[in-house]
Amino acid sequence: MSSEMYARIRENPKFKELVSKRERLAWTLTGIVLVLFFGLFMTVAFNPAALAIKIGDSLVTTGLVIGLFQFVLFWVLTAVYVSRANSDFDAMTEQLLRESMKAKK
C-alpha cells in the first residue's frame, strides 16, 4: 500500500471510530483485569485471613476459589476481545480497506 492510501485511511472518520472502539474495549478489559489481579494481592497483603476461610467441611478455601475464578475470568475476557476483534473490528477494517481502494481508482 502506498503512503497516500495510508493517509486516506488515517483521515477516514471510520478509522477513528475503529481505533476509538478498540481502545475503549482494550482499556475496559485491562481495567477489569488489573483491579481483580491487584485486588487479590492487596487482600493477600492486608487481610490474608479472608482468603483462608474454608468453604464447608472441605479443604477448599475462599482464596483458592477466587484464584481459580480469576484464571477462568481472564480467559473469558480474552475470548470476548478475540470475538469482538474477529467480528466487529475485522469487518470495520475490511470496509475501510474497500473504501480506500475505491478512492484510489
What 3-state class would DSSP assign to 60? coil
10 versus 5: the higher-pLDDT residue is 10
Domain count, the chain: 1
User: Alpha helix (H) ranges present in the chain?
Assistant: 3-11, 13-46, 48-51, 62-84, 90-104
pLDDT band at 99 (very low <50, low <70, confident <90, very high): confident
Residue 58 to residues 26, 28, 64: CA-CA distances in angstroms?
38, 36, 12
DSSP secondary-structure letter at 77?
Answer: H
**Residue of higher predicted confidence among 79 and 3:** 79
Contact between residue 61 and residue 54 where contact means Cβ atoms under 8 Å apart: yes
Report how far residue 72's alpha carbon sits from residue 54's, in angstroms, rounded to the nearest whole number: 21
According to the model, what pLDDT value does residue 105 have? 58
**Digit-coded pLDDT (tens) for 10-49:** 888 999 999 999 999 999 999 999 999 999 999 999 999 9
Residues 6+ apart with CB under 8 A from 104: 4, 5, 8
Domain that holds residue 66: 3-104
pLDDT of amino acid 85: 94
Higher local confidence (pLDDT), 2 or 43: 43
